[in-house]
Structure 1
Amino acid sequence: MTRYAALFGAINVGGNRLLMADLRDALEREDFAEVETVVASGNVLFSHEERPSEGLAEKLAYVVRERFDIDTFAAVRSRAELEAAVAESPFADTGEDNLVHVHFLETQPAPEAFETLIADHAGRGSEKLAPGTRALHIDYVDGAGASKLTAGFIARRLGCRGTARNIRSIRRIIEKMD
């Protein structure tokens, strides 16, 4: 069995309230083992027979849609993939851990999509952006709360959904995977 983290998008935001205990119970009934939640924002650790993360992401989204009527997706990553995302971030060691985010993506956008995003964002805010491996690295220099760099803005340019976690949260998730 392999240990994974599922980073759900649109859970406990925008009216999509879901008790983490209910989510744990639903996943355990669907053959996910050692299910554990980290913070109440849609971070789930679980063990499963090794398989491509895309298949696990589809299965997780299906369970949440069928059981809770919430249309969501999950970015599924192994411990090694989470560590690689932090290591890949050009801002992880220079910015503040609560302001530097990895926006985990469903798929890998084409380089042109990243170029479009960066060009369309120019002049909209102080955020720093860098493309990554199934990720967008962001330093929300002045904070994410008032930023115009929203998930919708990003998704329209990259052509896929994503969900962001700050470096502090990612490191905590990695520690919990031990």
Structure 2
Amino acid sequence: MTHAVALLRAINITGRFVKKDVLRQLFVELGLTGISTFIASGNVLFDEENGDPAALEARIETHLRASLGYEVATFVRSAAELAAVAAHTPFALDEMASAFGLMVAFLKAPPDEAGRERLLAYRRASDDIAVHGREVYWLRRVQQSETEFGGAKLERALGVPATVRSITTVRKLAILAAGKK
């Protein structure tokens, strides 16, 4: 049994509000155990058998669609994978420390070369982008209101769904997943 995190796209935004206790119950209904949530943006920690993550993502998505009435793209990472994402340094440390934000976008699979090229074309003085495996790191050198880049452009460039979290949230989730009993 391993600890894992499901990162859900578009939960608790624009009319798609799901209380944390309801979200936990939906995961109980899937037969998962050790369930907890972290902040209200669709982060669910749980225990899982060492199975196929893609099959688990599909199972969760199917159940959430049936229960909530809309699509909820789901990205599952093991505690070890999340720790590696949190520890990765895609940019110079001094640059990350002085930035307005470092965001991580989670994908189902590494982007293909064409998607990667479209995505990296968004690099600007205000925004830097690095791809590492199934994650995209976005360094914001300006306030969010001052950038033209964001999650919607990231998804359009790659042609696949993604969900974005701040590096602070990713690091906290990694700590929680590592310490989960």
Same fold by TM-score greater than 0.5: yes
Match of 1:103 in 2: 105
Taking structure 2 as the reference length, what is the TM-score of the superposition? 0.89
Deviates more, 1:85-94 or 1:62-71: 85-94
Uncovered stretches (5+) of structure 1, i.e. residues with no partner: none
Change beyond 3 A, Cα 1:105–1:144: farther
Deviates more, 1:40-49 or 1:141-150: 141-150
Change beyond 3 A, Cα 1:137–1:89: farther
Change beyond 3 A, Cα 1:75–1:114: same
Match of 1:87 in 2: 87
Structure 2 counterpart SS, 1:160: coil
Uncovered stretches (5+) of structure 2, i.e. residues with no partner: none
Structure 2 counterpart SS, 1:101: strand
- Contact 2:2/2:79 (CA < 8 Å) preserved in 1? no
AA at the equivalent of 2:109? T
Change beyond 3 A, Cα 1:21–1:134: same
Query: Could you tell me the percent identity over the aligned residues?
Result: 28
- Contact 2:111/2:158 (CA < 8 Å) preserved in 1? yes
Mapped partners of 1:53, 1:146: distance in 2: 37
Mapped partners of 1:36, 1:162: distance in 2: 22
Match of 1:117 in 2: 119
AA at the equivalent of 1:151? G
- Contact 2:100/2:141 (CA < 8 Å) preserved in 1? no
Correspondence list, 1:16-165, <5 A: 16-91=16-91, 93-94=93-94, 95-96=96-97, 99-119=101-121, 121-123=122-124, 126-165=126-165
AA at the equivalent of 2:155? A
1:107: how far off?
A: 1.8
Regions of 4+ moved over 6 Å: none
Give the number of aligned pairs: 176
Change beyond 3 A, Cα 1:27–1:147: same
Change beyond 3 A, Cα 1:20–1:137: same
